[in-house]
Amino acid sequence: MHRLIRWMLALLVVVGIAFLIWQKTRTKPVEVVVKPVVRGVVEKTVANTRAGTVKACRRAKLSPSIGGQIASLPIHEGDQVKAGALLLEIWNEDLAAQADLAEREAAVAEAQANAACLSAEEANRQAERSKKLLRHQAGSEEQTDHAVTQARSLQAQCEAARATVQMSLARINVARANLSRTRLMAPFDGVVAKIEGELNEYVTPSPVGVQTPPAVDLIENNCYYVSAPIDEVDAAAVRVGMNTRISLDAFKERQLVGTVRRISPYVLDVEKQARTVDIEAAFTNHGDFKDLLAGYSADVEIILATRPDTLKIPTEAVLEGKKVFVYSADGKKVHEVTIKAGLANWAFTEVTSGLKEGQSVVVNVDKPGLKDGVSAVVAETAP
C-alpha cells in the first residue's frame, strides 16, 4: 500500500515536471493589433520636406529715395493704412519753396504769353486792314509790308511766350517730383509691420551694394499664400491647379483648403539639404485670411489623385509594397497574403486585389515572431 502511494506521488511529480517543460517550450500566440479592410476614399499625396511659410501677397520694405531729417511720421507699428497714405516725410521746406516759385513763375509766363498773343492778334487785324486799303489803292505797299511783318513778328513772340509757359509747367513738374521724393506713400492697403526711425532722426538711402534697414515695412494683410519646398522626386507630378490641404502649427486641429498656383521653374540646391522645388499654394477661402499672419509655419499636402470608393487598409500594414498579414478569427492564426496596391499615402493604401472587405489585417508588422501561419491572439483593435 505504501509502495503504491510512493509510485503515485512519483508519477505526479513527473507529470508536473513534464507539464512545466511543455508550458515553457511551447510556442505562445503572437499578440497582434488588427484593423479591418474597409471601403472609402484613398488619395495619392505629396507634402513639403521642410516647413513652409505663410506669406503676404504683397510686402514692401520702403525707404525714401533721398536722405534727410524725418519731419513727419504719422504712423505707428501695427497701424492699418490705405493706399496713398503718407507714411513718412523728410524735411523739404526748400523744395516746397522751389515748387511754389516754379508755380508763380508759370503764372507770370502765362500772363506774359496772353499779353503777347493779344498784341499779335491786334497786329494781325491791322495787317488785314492794310491789305484791304492796298487793294482799293488807298494805302501804300510799304505800309502794308510793315504791318504784315509786324503781325508775323508778334505772332512769333506769342508762340515763344506759349513755349515759355510750357517750359514753366515742366519746371513745376520737376519741382513737384523732387518734393515727392521726400514723401513716402503707401503703395497698397496694408499694416505697418516695422518702422526704422523716429522724428528728427536722419535717414539715408542704401548705397549701391550696401544693405540698410528699410524705413517702413508694409505688409498686405488681406491676401496670403503659402510657399513650401517639395522634394525634387515628388515635384515632377505636381501641376498648377491641384487641390491642397494646408495645416498650420497655430491651428492644430484645423485644415485649410487651397490650390497650387505656382511651381518654381528651377531646383533649389542648398548645401547639406535635399534638392527641392518651391511651390506656392493659394488659399481657396478668402475668409481664412482674417486668422492668418505673415510668417506662420505651414505644411502643404498636395492631392495628386483620388479614388472616392475603394478598398483600403492602413499603409503601415503593407510590407514591401505588396504583402500583408491577415488574421483569421476562426483559426486564430495569421497568413501572409500578396496584394495588388493602388494609390497610397502615409495613412492608407488602396487594395485593388487580394483582400475582401471586412477581413482583418495586422498593423503591428514589426512584432517579433510574426510570420506566415503563426498562432496569434488579438491584443487590441486599432481605432
Mean pLDDT along residues 13-35 = 67
* CB < 8 Å & 24+ apart, contacts of 123-131: 123/147, 123/150, 123/151, 123/153, 123/154, 123/155, 124/151, 124/154, 124/155, 126/150, 126/151, 127/151
Q: What is the pLDDT of residues 53-83, one digit of tens each?
A: 999 999 999 988 888 999 999 999 999 999 9
In the structure, what pLDDT confidence band is assigned to residue 184 with cuts at 50, 70 and 90?
Answer: very high
pLDDT at 382: 53
Mean pLDDT along residues 180-204 = 91
Evaluate if residue 89 carries a pLDDT over 90. yes
Q: Which residues contact 244 (CB under 8 A, 6 or more apart)?
A: 257, 258, 259, 260, 281, 300, 301, 302, 303
pLDDT at 4: 64
Which range (52-66, 164-178, 364-378) has the least confidence? 364-378
Task: Please calculate the CA angle 87-91-94 and round it to the nearest 5 degrees.
Answer: 135
In the structure, what pLDDT confidence band is assigned to residue 42 with cuts at 50, 70 and 90?
Answer: very high
Evaluate if residue 26 carries a pLDDT over 70. no
> What are the extents of the domains in the chain?
28-40+309-381, 47-57+222-307, 62-90+187-219, 93-180
Q: Which residues contact 311 (CB under 8 A, 6 or more apart)?
A: 37, 38, 39, 350, 351, 352, 355, 356, 357
Evaluate if residue 22 carries a pLDDT over 60. no
* C-alpha span between 296 and 249 (Å, rounded): 8
Evaluate if residue 367 carries a pLDDT over 60. yes
CA distance readout (Å), 200 to 180, 234, 348: 19, 54, 63
**What is the distance between the terminal CA atoms of the chain, rounded to a whole angstrom?**
63
In the structure, what pLDDT confidence band is assigned to residue 318 with cuts at 50, 70 and 90?
Answer: very high
Which range (126-140, 316-330, 346-360) has the least confidence? 126-140
Q: What 3-state class would DSSP assign to 155?
A: helix
Evaluate if residue 24 carries a pLDDT over 60. no
* C-alpha span between 138 and 150 (Å, rounded): 20
Q: Which residues contact 201 (CB under 8 A, 6 or more apart)?
A: 69, 70
Where is 58: in which H helix or E strand?
Answer: none
Q: What is the 3-state secondary structure (H, E, C) of 309-325?
A: EEEEEEHHHCECCCEEE
Q: What is the pLDDT of residues 270-300, one digit of tens each?
A: 766 788 999 999 999 988 888 888 999 999 9
Evaluate if residue 381 carries a pLDDT over 60. no
CATH number of 62-90+187-219: 2.40.50.100
Q: Which residue has the higher pLDDT, 135 or 222?
A: 222
What CATH homologous superfamily does 47-57+222-307 map to? Efflux pump adaptor protein, beta barrel domain (2.40.30.170)
CATH number of 28-40+309-381: 2.40.420.20
Evaluate if residue 139 carries a pLDDT over 70. no
Mean pLDDT along residues 242-250 = 92
Q: Tell me if 28-40+309-381 shares its fold with 62-90+187-219.
A: no
Q: pTM of the prediction?
A: 0.69
Average pLDDT over the chain reads: 86
